Structure 1
């Protein structure tokens, strides 16, 4: 539900309630009369103003059960406060990388991926289509009992056909065509990112190894040598879908709607597979 907020309502939460920090801002937990909220604080400069305004414009018009709800914004130069519904559970990234606190099964993984795909499919079904451009586990949030999944962070969103910069997003999840200057790309870049995200859900590790690495080397290998995460140790029912979805040729990738349909038709054959814990694999070296 959209509403107006005042600076006084917001600032009382900004000294002790930090829950997240990124390149462009800090996120705090707050409370309004309607309940708990997430407060994203951006320090707006000439370089980041367009990104911030784009996120506001997108969130004002997008509403879906698998996309975090936008509540309000307040612009107090040079700060911009964005108010969202509060998701009281972990991010998918936190679930993947904290095995002791977050154990999950094949059934859980399929459920989370279906919901994330539902949110992404909504963006791709709009006219004009919206491309998220930063699909990754950190931008997929869950509620407290981990039954509801929602996409977040729409600062990189673009309309299909608009002028889009290259190398937008997070390098490990970026499709090969996004790396190349002057190449026009489509919503299929989100499909590629979704596939890498799905692989990490099943592997419980980062695709291509640790975060701190030479990303230029990674970009070269992914875009010119078709480097991809290894499928060894990943459930076999995912192999064909992953291979199609991270194809180097965007036109051969399925749509997110087709991925969603495939996920919903997943046949575990035996209940024991459905309930099997996903324990993960060794860090990927990619496909040679």
Structure 2
């Protein structure tokens, strides 16, 4: 390879060019950085500036199915609105969208953003267990600078899904930036938001009251600080989202907060978790003495791993692009609405109407609702909702099921490992998936060897009101 070969030429030789933007400025390489239920992130190159970029490709057909929307132009408009918001924000600690466009021929929306090779702050922190408190304070200042920028816009902008998964790192510069504004909202008129959205471990109590402002991001920032100290999600002692909801609404703090030994660290986190009327702003926290004191971290080591985040559905019918629910990057075959797709965006496009099937099953503790839709010859899009019958919250998952490589027991087991299902829920979830798969693919072989195809199918039909299987019109 010639030493004078350009960076672009080297990359082309390595990965190959898949696509070029309509204006000829951006190149998309055959190198996938991440996948979602209907979003794929590729490495790209900006030929004008000579820099690597992230090329997000959102499949509108799959996105519409996941969001139960009939109007593709409406979804495209929603995605472009997010891109427009990202373009309008100019701050060193907020990721900017450089360019976006709709590809009508392939039914997708493309967005070009900055590339962060070190990944998310959650990944980075868990890859580097020994971190001095000085580094964490540096990250905290940058996050607060970004939040202060959002919150002081006119009108203010609330991120609503701040967590270390949505904060990105440039490790060689010690730089962090807030990203993933899919749930961000502009607080117009009354300055109040009402949709119950976000990641439960990071959602402030007032979110559940459906009346809140930008200070919910400060609460979430406090939980981010706790995650950075303990290297685990807050409320990791909880086994499901209902338990988190009960603790948050009752004002019970995560158990891990009691394990934070440094009183200054603990006190700073507790300020962020105060009731909304007493909670400080980002500007006030930036002036807090804690962020200027150079003390080292004492005893607050990472001793446990991270786990996937849970999901709450929207309470209002407001279209949200590709992140109505939270995301995680744990590499599981399932994920909450926006990770771990196994099919390319182009491969998921189908023509003609696609029927959606629905099944319900109830136990004494929970109700499971499964919706399924055949996307192509080897892929099914599932939506599984696990609702606790004793409180008004639900765990909701969107994931693509590969008919050639996945099986229902594998997916359900991964949900147990992520603490999103209990072992007692597994048989119900497996039966739901297997029965629906038989409806969508007659040659499907159920996980349970003692079931024949006919037995499982007839069980579905015989369960009546507890397991209604049929087409659902959206």
Establish whether TM, by shorter chain, passes 0.5.
Answer: yes
Aligned mates of 1:133, 1:90 — CA distance in 2: 21
TM-score (ref. length: structure 2): 0.52
Higher relative contact order (CA 8 A, sep 6+): 1
Aligned mates of 1:93, 1:43 — CA distance in 2: 26
1:223 and 2:231 aligned: no
Match of 1:88 among 117, 120, 125: 117
Aligned mates of 1:206, 1:73 — CA distance in 2: 33
Residues 237-265 of structure 1, C-alpha deviation per residue, up to 9 Å, x if partnerless?
12222112112x21111001111221674
Structure 1 equivalent of residue 259 of structure 2: 232
Structure 2 equivalent of residue 66 of structure 1: 93
Residues 72-128 of structure 1, C-alpha deviation per residue, up to 9 Å, x if partnerless?
0021132111100112223111023234xx532111110011111111110011111
Match of 2:55 among 19, 29, 39: 39
Secondary structure of the 2:83 match is: helix
Match of 1:176 among 183, 205, 208: 205
Aligned mates of 1:179, 1:185 — CA distance in 2: 9
Q: Structure 2 regions of 5+ residues with no counterpart?
A: 1-19, 65-70, 307-474
Structure 2 equivalent of residue 155 of structure 1: 182
Residues 129-178 of structure 1, C-alpha deviation per residue, up to 9 Å, x if partnerless?
11111100011111132511111111111111467453211121111111
Structure 2 equivalent of residue 141 of structure 1: 168
- Number of residue pairs the alignment of both structures matches: 269
Residues 33-84 of structure 1, C-alpha deviation per residue, up to 9 Å, x if partnerless?
1210011111233484464133112112101011112210021132111100
Match of 2:151 among 124, 141, 162: 124
Distance change (3 Å), C-alpha of 1:76 and 1:231: same
Aligned mates of 1:72, 1:84 — CA distance in 2: 7
Structure 1 equivalent of residue 429 of structure 2: none
Show the 5 A alignment for 1:277-288. 279-281=301-303
CA contact (8 A) 2:261 2:299 kept: no
Post-superposition shift, 1:5?
3.5
Whose strand fraction is larger, Structure 1's or Structure 2's? 2
1:200 and 2:227 aligned: yes
Q: Structure 1 regions of 5+ residues with no counterpart?
A: none
Secondary structure of the 1:26 match is: strand
RMSD: 2.8
